[in-house]
Amino acid sequence: MTPAIPHQQTEETGALQEDDVSLIALENGCITSPRGFSASGVACGLKAEGMDMALVFSETAAVAAALFTCNKLRAAPIAVSENHIACQQARAILINSGNANACTGARGWQDAEMTAKAVSAALHIPINHTLIASTGVIGHFLPMEKILAGIQRAVADLQPNGGPDAARAIMTTDTRPKQMAIECRIDGKSCRIGAMAKGSGMIQPRLATMIAVFTTDCAIEPTLLREALQNSVNKSFNVLTVDGEQSTNDCVFILANHQCGNPAIRQKDENFRVFQRALDQVAVALAQELARDGEGASKLITVTVQEAATAEEADRAARSVANSLLVKTALFGRDPNWGRVISALGASGAQLQPEKIQIRFAGIVVAEKGQAIDYDRIAMQKALQEAEVEIEARLGIGQYRARVYTCDLSYDYVRINAEYHT
Amino acid sequence: MTPAIPHQQTEETGALQEDDVSLIALENGCITSPRGFSASGVACGLKAEGMDMALVFSETAAVAAALFTCNKLRAAPIAVSENHIACQQARAILINSGNANACTGARGWQDAEMTAKAVSAALHIPINHTLIASTGVIGHFLPMEKILAGIQRAVADLQPNGGPDAARAIMTTDTRPKQMAIECRIDGKSCRIGAMAKGSGMIQPRLATMIAVFTTDCAIEPTLLREALQNSVNKSFNVLTVDGEQSTNDCVFILANHQCGNPAIRQKDENFRVFQRALDQVAVALAQELARDGEGASKLITVTVQEAATAEEADRAARSVANSLLVKTALFGRDPNWGRVISALGASGAQLQPEKIQIRFAGIVVAEKGQAIDYDRIAMQKALQEAEVEIEARLGIGQYRARVYTCDLSYDYVRINAEYHT
């Protein structure tokens, strides 16, 4: 997966900018590409088959930041990690798949605490330098014997090239691991950012999303790290929707272990800008990968709303289109159904004037001034067979834009979620 | 279809009341069951096959009220009907299926005006006593020759027992017509209310929904008729969601032609209460029918949230569950997946405390204090095979409740909407 995103949205105006920062995608990049990180993935029997526990470890002290779901019924590990992140440092992140440890009451909390404690004991680090996350079925207690045995093996298996195993171990209904790494230059030093993430249903994050882990060997102050993470998440996972759902277990972590040798970033200078741009790049590429591999998805759909009256209305209009089951099923059927796009725009509550609206599918204008126009149907047919389709709506009202990533809705989404039994 | 709704929500507290009003469902009841109404359904070539134009006519003057979609990109006929309803009277309602006359600009408006004019000319009634509605594909101009020829035939075909034809002619992806009639006693007179409606995708009304027509031979003042209609719609179509979509063409009409001989209802007295209850009954039964026949639906799902902090939060929580694709696919798969219900509640933003939440599927408690409990799995399996399933969530926070009607999400929803091409 190559992080080739030509444009980035600025936060203030939503306008697109050319990317002027030089970034290099690392071949086979992963969570252990930055210096000083090791990782492992092991099978401890939470899932019927395959690896289900991932551990990411920084060999030295690392600054840390995290974002958590704003679902009010948060899982126990989320609460534990939120407590631990308060110290702004962490060295280990343990993630299990197969069981979400959500809706498990006081015992779930105790199990999460015990998990973090076991990790910190095995790694000889303070308990609050351990972050944990769980993903999987809701409402079941963690089988702690399996968890504790798994932790021992995950610690023993830590490898400097263990990133791919970790990325595989956090998968649930994902069809493939999502991971990458990028290199940028900060103060003359080559700084790396690695990442892994898992989807792939129950996704429309508002604060953070699903589970994503970033590692970097850059040196940066904790408050700036937190701010950079929030900025990147706002442009990536927070504008991703697979099915409009927000999980009890969404979280995003980042560890920065200052192994690349740069003087720590302490203000919003050029170095911060480069770091931010690199982090954005990784986050957006991963978010697109999550949409592309959304449950049952056959394509990545990018919805761009332009010329809205306010940034909030641009966002609302884009989300309304991206969450429209009718738009998503139309694209599964390879139909440029702009009527459904218009209807979703109209239902969003954003300010609109029908006679000003232009709709494009895959760059081809299909509606002008709110009405049908002729277009090249053969070119369209070809474009809608591609693995990526962009829907653009120009509202002609103001100057704000928003972009949301989603996927189509297929039979397989229904199959996956109807066959998945508690 | 028998309108057997045991409970009604009161507007103020959301509390359930026993129904103390005597109502009789009429066998083969329809839009022409009330006295003095005739109707027809004809094929004028808008759809590939079958009837696609319905006309409902009151032989005498009738008080009228209507509610329209709040989608900002409303279709031309909606705008025309909204102008006409200002006079609070109407005698004819013409509805075509197969073409929505939406996103058709100035020409669409002219076509809608011309349609209304042709109806009024053929029936010798003032143009503003004609209401019109369209449903079908967006972005195509009405074929006016077919429409005008169809109107002549629809007028010629008007029959006192034409209700079933009209109900069939307004169908799009509906698998069956929805119609019914009910009788109540007002001031010693037998008063009838008839109705028809069509769904069945693009449905999550906020103001009005889809297309529904009510007729009654009751005499009632226009402002009270409007108020009764709004009340009934709030309890029925406005708490219905098939796919979270809101169409450009949603509308609900009612004609009251005072043919049953009651002195006109002029205040909110006992007679108004009986009329309201009867109208509620018909509206809720039709809304349930729309959910039951939602695109691809295999079952009607009623989501009831109780003990919420406010009425608004109860509504928001119930809608969040009802619109959850994960909940809907789980029920298609006959799985009592309370974890997905909890997650949807948590994502709704309503005030919640996990340890106070109880979840029931089909009356069987599956989660208590926010955690799994044992339940009779054989009884559950049986219950989830039924054509109707109720999900109840008690939040344990306050005293407000809300109820939302929806359906499951099946392969057929995807098929219908992926195969439907512009």
For chain A, how big is the Rg over CA atoms in Å? Answer: 21
- The angle subtended at Cα A69 by Cα B317 and Cα A199, nearest 5°, is 100
A15 and A240 Cβ atoms separated by less than 8 Å: no
Shared domain check, A311 and A352:
yes
Residues of B in contact with A140 (CB under 8 A): 372
Between CA B218 and CA A170 the distance in angstroms is 64
Q: Is residue B325 part of a domain?
A: yes
Final residue in a domain of this structure, among A257, A292, A327? A292
- Considering only the beta carbons, identify the residue of B325, B369, B422 that sits closest to A339: B422
The residue segments making up the domain with residue A31 are: 7-292
**Mean pLDDT of the B298-318 span:** 94
pLDDT tens-digit series, residues B274-283:
999 999 999 9
Q: Is residue B227 part of a domain?
A: yes
Shared domain check, A25 and A74:
yes
The total number of structural domains that make up chain A: 2
Final residue in a domain of this structure, among B228, B263, B292? B292
B210 and B194 Cβ atoms separated by less than 8 Å: no
Between CA A14 and CA A310 the distance in angstroms is 10
**Mean pLDDT of the B219-238 span:** 91
**Res. B295: pLDDT tops 60:** yes
pLDDT tens-digit series, residues B323-348:
888 898 889 888 999 988 998 898 88
Q: Is residue B9 part of a domain?
A: no
Shared domain check, B379 and B258:
no
Contact: B330, A418; criterion CB under 8 Å: yes
Nearest CA in chain B to A342: B73
pLDDT at B199: 78
Shared domain check, A337 and A283:
no
Contact: B372, A339; criterion CB under 8 Å: no
Shared domain check, B276 and B408:
no
Contact: B352, A421; criterion CB under 8 Å: no
- CATH assignment at residue B313: 3.10.20.340
Shared domain check, B193 and B66:
yes
Q: Which residue has the higher pLDDT, A297 or B40?
A: B40
* B269's tokens: 């007295």
Q: Is residue B352 part of a domain?
A: yes
pLDDT at B22: 87
Nearest CA in chain B to A412: B411
**Res. B13: pLDDT tops 60:** no
Q: Which of A100, A174, A96 is nearest to A137 (CA)?
A: A100
Selected catalytic residue, list A32, A135, A173, A209: A209
- Considering only the beta carbons, identify the residue of A333, A344, A347 that sits closest to B418: A333
Contact: A347, B418; criterion CB under 8 Å: no
Residues of B in contact with A410 (CB under 8 A): 414, 418
Catalytic residue flag (residue A60): no
Q: Which residue spans within B163-315 are E strands per DSSP?
A: 178-186, 189-198, 211-216, 251-256, 300-308
Above pLDDT 70, what percent of chain B?
A: 91
pLDDT at B209: 42
Q: Mapping DSSP to helix (H, G, I), strand (E, B) and coil, where does residue B102 land?
A: coil
pLDDT at A420: 63
Grade residue B200 by pLDDT with cuts at 50, 70 and 90: low
Shared domain check, A409 and A268:
no
Residues of A in contact with B100 (CB under 8 A): 339
Shared domain check, A260 and A137:
yes
Contact: B71, A343; criterion CB under 8 Å: yes
Side-chain half-sphere exposure of A126, counting CA atoms within 13 A? 11
Selected catalytic residue, list B209, B215, B241, B406: B209
Q: Which residue has the higher pLDDT, B373 or A73?
A: B373
Q: Tell how far CA B249 is from the center of its chain.
A: 13
HEC per residue, chain A: CCCCCCEEECCCCCCEEECCCCCEECCCCCCCCCCCEEEEEECCCCCCCCCCEEEEEECCCCEEEEEECCCCCCCHHHHHHHHHHCCCECCEEEEEEEECCCCCHHHHHHHHHHHHHHHHHHHCCCHHHEEEEEEEECCCCCCHHHHHHHHHHHHHCCECCCHHHHHHHCCCCCCCCEEEEEEEEECCEEEEEEEEEECCCCECCCCCCCEEEEEECCCECHHHHHHHHHHHHHHCHHHECCCCCECCCCEEEEEECCCCCCCCECCCCHHHHHHHHHHHHHHHHHHHHHHHCCCCCCCEEEEEEEEECCHHHHHHHHHHHHCCHHHHHHHHCCCCCHHHHHHHHHHCCCCCCHHHCEEEECCEEEEECCEECCCCHHHHHHHCCCCEEEEEEECCCCCEEEEEEEECCCHHHHHHHHHCCC
Cα-Cα-Cα-Cα torsion A361, A365, A366, A368, nearest 10 degrees, comes to 130
Shared domain check, A310 and A284:
no
What is the b/e burial string over A240-269, where b = at least 16 CB atoms within 10 angstroms of the residue's CB?
bbbbbbbbbbbbbbbbbbbbbebeebeeee
Residue A376 CB neighbours (<10 A):
10
pLDDT at B357: 95
**Mean pLDDT of the B103-113 span:** 94
Q: Which residues of chain A have pLDDT under 50?
A: 1-18, 203-209
Q: Tell me the nearest-neighbour CA distance from B205 into chain A, angstroms.
A: 10
Shared domain check, B285 and B142:
yes
pLDDT tens-digit series, residues B43-86:
999 988 999 999 999 999 999 999 888 777 888 999 999 999 99
- Interface size, chain A vs chain B, as Cβ–Cβ contacts under 8 Å: 210
Final residue in a domain of this structure, among A263, A292, A321? A292
Shared domain check, B388 and B366:
yes
Shared domain check, A12 and A141:
yes
Contact: B421, A342; criterion CB under 8 Å: no
Q: Which residue has the higher pLDDT, B150 or A15?
A: B150
- CATH assignment at residue B165: 3.60.70.12
pLDDT at A209: 42
Q: Is residue A2 part of a domain?
A: no
* A214's tokens: 């970033």
pLDDT at A248: 72
Nearest CA in chain B to A331: B418
**Res. B40: pLDDT tops 50:** yes
**Res. B96: pLDDT tops 50:** yes
Q: Is residue B78 part of a domain?
A: yes
Q: Is residue A226 part of a domain?
A: yes
Q: Is residue A1 part of a domain?
A: no
